[in-house]
Amino acid sequence: MNSATPSITKQVEEQIINNNKKISELLTENETLLKQLGFEPPATNYAPSVKKRIHFPSRYIRTKEYYVKKYKLNLFFSNQMIASNVAYSLQMSDLYNFILNRFYVFGSLETMIYKAAIINYVCIIESLISQVFEDIHAYCGACPDHDRCEFFMPKDKTKTFSQKLKAIESKGMLNLSPSQFQQICEAYQLRNHMHIYSAAKENEHTSKSFDRKLHNSIVNVMKDLTVTLFDDMLPATKQCYKTLEYKDI
C-alpha cells in the first residue's frame, strides 16, 4: 500500500491560492460590514443562525465512528464513554490540522495553536498507554506468580505517566524506538507546562518549543504507538505477557 503524499499540479495550486485570496477578501468584507454598523468583534459581535454560517468542508473532520474503528478504541477502553472522548479528541486534532494548514497564523498565536494541538495528542497517547498499563496490572495481579515475574509492573497511584512509560520501555514491552520513547516523554513534559504561569516561566513562546516539527513528529509517533500497543501490549490484558513473549520461540 503506497502511503506517499500525493503531489499537486501547478494548475491546481494556482487555483487554490486564488480561491484562498477570494475567501480572505470575503471574510474581510464581512468584518468591515459589521464594524460599519458599530460592532467591535469579538467584544460585540453578530452571528447568523447556525445553518447560515460558514460551512466547514464536508468530511475534513472525520467522524467519531471512523476513529473508534480506525484505532480500535472499543478494544482499548471497556468504558465506552472514554472511547468516545478519545475519538472526540481525535476529531479535534482534525480541526487543529485545518487551522494550521489553511489559515495564515503567525508569531505567538501560531505557537499557541501548535501547543493546543500537541497537548491534545499527548493526552490521547497518555490515555491509551495508561489504560493498557492498568489493564495489564489488573490481569497480572490475579496471578499467584506475579511477584516473581519480570514483566509484572506494580500499580502505584503516585507513579507518573513518564515513570509508567519508562517501566514499559525497560521491560521491552512496546516496540518503539528509543527516540520515539524520548519524543513522547519530552512532549509530555511540555504538556505539563500547559498552565499560563509555568509556561511564562519557561518562555515557550519565544523559544518556539511548540512548532510544526514537533507537531508532525508526535502525529507520527502516535500512529506507530497505536499499532504497536494493539500488537504488543493489548493482548497482555487477557493473557500472560510471558506466554505471549515466548510463544514463537
Region 110-136 average pLDDT: 92
DSSP states of 122-177: HHHHHHHHHHHHHHHHHHHHT-TTGGG-TT-----TT--HHHHHHHHHHTT-S---
Q: Give pLDDT tens digits for 177-213.
A: 999 999 888 888 877 766 555 555 555 544 557 889 9
Distance CA 86, CA 31 (A): 35
| Mean pLDDT, rounded, of the chain | 87
State the CB neighbour count (10 A cutoff) for residue 45. Answer: 9
pLDDT given for residue 154 in this prediction: 72
Contacts of 5 (CB under 8 A, 6+ apart): none
User: What's the half-sphere exposure (Cβ side, CA atoms, 13 Å) at 148?
Assistant: 3
Estimate the crossing angle of helix 107-141 against helix 161-170, to 10 degrees.
60
Phi/psi at 12 (nearest 5 deg)?
A: -65, -40
Q: Are 117 and 93 in contact (CB under 8 A)?
A: yes
Estimate the crossing angle of helix 80-102 against helix 212-228, to 10 degrees.
150
Q: Which of 62-71, 74-83, 94-103, 170-179 has the lowest mean pLDDT?
A: 170-179
The x, y and z cell numbers of residue 236, run together, are 497482555
> Could you give the dihedral angle defined by the CA atoms of residues 231, 73, 133 and 93, in that order, rounded to the nearest 10 degrees?
100
pLDDT given for residue 162 in this prediction: 86
Tell me the one-letter amino acid at 60. Answer: Y
The x, y and z cell numbers of residue 158, run together, are 503516585
pLDDT > 70 fraction of the chain, expressed in percent and rounded? 89
pLDDT given for residue 249 in this prediction: 45
Phi/psi at 198 (nearest 5 deg)?
A: -70, -35
pLDDT given for residue 203 in this prediction: 52
* Residue 124 burial (10 A CB sphere; 0-12, 13-18, 19+): buried
pLDDT at 88 over 90: yes
Cβ burial 176-211 (10 Å sphere, 16+ → b, else e): beeebbebbebbbebbebeeeeebeeeebbeeebbe
pLDDT given for residue 94 in this prediction: 96
pLDDT given for residue 248 in this prediction: 52
Q: Give pLDDT tens digits for 33-78.
A: 999 999 999 999 999 999 999 998 989 999 999 999 999 999 999 9
Q: Are 215 and 118 in contact (CB under 8 A)?
A: yes
Region 219-247 average pLDDT: 86
